[in-house]
A and B are shown apart, each in its own frame.
Chain A
Amino acid sequence: MAALRAGDFAALQLLLKAPSKDAVRQLCQECFSSPPAALGALAQRACPGLAVSAQEAEQLVCALHNLTRHVVYRGFTAPEDILCLFPENFHQNLKNLLTKITLENISAWRNEAQASQISLPRLVDMDWRVDIKTSSDSIARMAVPTCLLQLKLQEDAALCGNNPVVSALTVELSKETLDTMLEGLGRIRDQLSAVANK
């Protein structure tokens, strides 16, 4: 996560050339969501709408990315925290607009950051069915219930970009295994309640 640089604020003033407040809002959103590697492409797209040179667009987009990410990182909730980031001579109205936009979006952006943070493969879905085994090569007649559990796992979002890789894993559990598993899950639940009640 990049820190804010002095040159960033100079670049931000280019936003004064934006056609409307909504355009600024839109750009803030796109700059926050974009990973650093995709900022170049974003700058190219934004360039015509802002009437700035390609190089200026790139500087602006990077600055906006850094600003929005910095605010989300620090978890600012009060306008004063954001306002004091700006230098003395920064355009007053633009400063207020940017502060307002970031505060409006901060909780959505926080969720976005949390959803895309690194993790082990995540559980996205689970399905189950219960079968009765009636016969096998080792015993001709039986009535043994068994459970098939299908877990859909999604690999780390950051690794996959826009194409999340979802794999399905089907697991068979006997009644005994299920009982042991439930015992373990129950213990987790008890420990979670103990932690929550502290």
Chain B
Amino acid sequence: MGLLNFTGEPVPEAVSGDMHNLNQLSAQQFSALTEVLFRFLTEPKEVERFLTQLSDFATMNKISLGPLKNIVKSILLVPNGALKRNLSSEQVRADFIALGLSEEKASYFAEQWKMNSPTLTRLAVGQTLMINQLIDMEWKFGVTAGSSELEKVGSIFLQLKLVIKKGSQLENVYVELTLPQFYSFLHEMERVKTSLESFS
């Protein structure tokens, strides 16, 4: 096997056997299986649903679930590597052919890959490390009517509650701002937005 695009490491031996089995599926069956796979890739949290759909596929097409799972494991190696390495659909197609998949099926998969890659890329980017990510912001503002030192006050206060993700825990941070501080904060955030937009 020549150099593959999606990985620099040698591929497990079972893969060529799995590709051979895949080639035995009809075009319709392959298309149905591909659909199940991409639905899982675009919604990786839906593990239960994925396993149910695989098991339904196995029953409907009279294939044993065990071998089917191995085949799916082998297939998934390619899109996972392709995502990490920003591969084009041409490269994905070439890799499948190199692994032993028929040209027809490889082209079909590559097409599906092309259609789904924006969603998949966005998902991968979303998984990228964020430090102290801001999850939520709640606010309230009001008037201080009086205090123990001043009978009548009448000044406006603004309170923010920032929900921050520190590692796997959520932490609440409370901040109070005066009105001038709020306007200055708003102004700065608008500058940040302009800056972010110029880089998008």
> Interface of A with B (CB < 8 Å)?
1, 69, 72-75, 110, 113-114, 116-123, 126, 128, 130, 132-133, 136-149, 151, 153, 169-175, 177-182, 184-186, 188-189, 191-192
Contact = CB atoms under 8 A, between A and B. Distances in A.
Nearest to B185: A126
A130 B175 contact: no
B48 interface: no
Q: Is the interface of A mostly helix, strand, loop or mixed?
A: mixed
A135 B15 CA distance: 29
Nearest to B181: A123
Given A139-B84, A188-B139, 11 more contacts: A114-B147, A119-B157, A128-B188, A139-B86, A143-B199, A169-B164, A169-B173, A173-B134, A175-B196, A182-B189, A185-B185
Contacts of B129: 136-137
A177 B84 CA distance: 25
B147 A113 contact: yes
Given A121-B175, A144-B125, A172-B133, A138 B84 contact: yes
Nearest to A115: B178
A75 B192 contact: no
B134 A113 contact: no
Interface of B: 83-86, 121, 124-125, 127-134, 137, 139, 141, 144, 147-153, 155-159, 162, 164, 173-177, 179, 181-183, 185-186, 188-190, 192-193, 195-197, 199-200
30 contacts: A73-B150, A75-B152, A113-B149, A116-B149, A117-B150, A119-B157, A120-B159, A120-B174, A121-B175, A122-B177, A123-B175, A123-B177, A128-B192, A130-B199, A132-B199, A137-B129, A138-B125, A138-B128, A140-B84, A140-B86, A145-B196, A145-B199, A147-B196, A148-B131, A169-B164, A174-B130, A174-B133, A178-B192, A191-B141, A192-B156
Contacts of B175: 120-123, 151, 153
A172 B189 contact: no
Contacts of A178: 189, 192-193, 196
B166 to A, nearest CB: 10
Nearest to B187: A185
B193 A182 contact: yes
Contacts of B147: 113-114, 117-118
Contact of B150 (A110, A128, A136, A139): A110
Which of B183, B192, B193, B195 is packed against the most chain A CB atoms within 10 Å? B192
A135 to B, nearest CB: 9
B76 to A, nearest CB: 15
Which of A110, A121, A145, A186 is packed against the most chain B CB atoms within 10 Å? A145
